[in-house]
Amino acid sequence: MDITKFLKNFADQFDDIDTSGIKPETRFKEIEGWSSLLAFSVIAMIDDEYGISLKGDDIRNSNTISDLFELVKSKL
């Protein structure tokens, strides 16, 4: 599992927003357009791409994209 692909998959969840500045250290809840609907999209993407089921608490307890990546990696 590599962070570059994870970043691309994460960024693909956003419509009509410039995601070129998204990096592992990005605080995803501060990205323009972040919402509870996007949180569900990210949870679904992680389930589809990696076969990992996250809960809302996992998203709430994570701050950066790297935090999410490490959480998913630890569950593989």
Q: Which amino acid is at 9?
A: N
pLDDT digits (tens, 9 = 90+) for 26-75: 999 999 889 999 999 999 999 999 999 999 999 999 999 999 999 999 99
- Residue 15 has what pLDDT? 86
Question: Measured between alpha carbons, how far is 31 from 34 in angstroms, rounded to an integer?
Answer: 6
CATH number at residue 35: 1.10.1200.10
- Structural domain tally of the chain? 1
In the chain, % of residues over pLDDT 70: 100
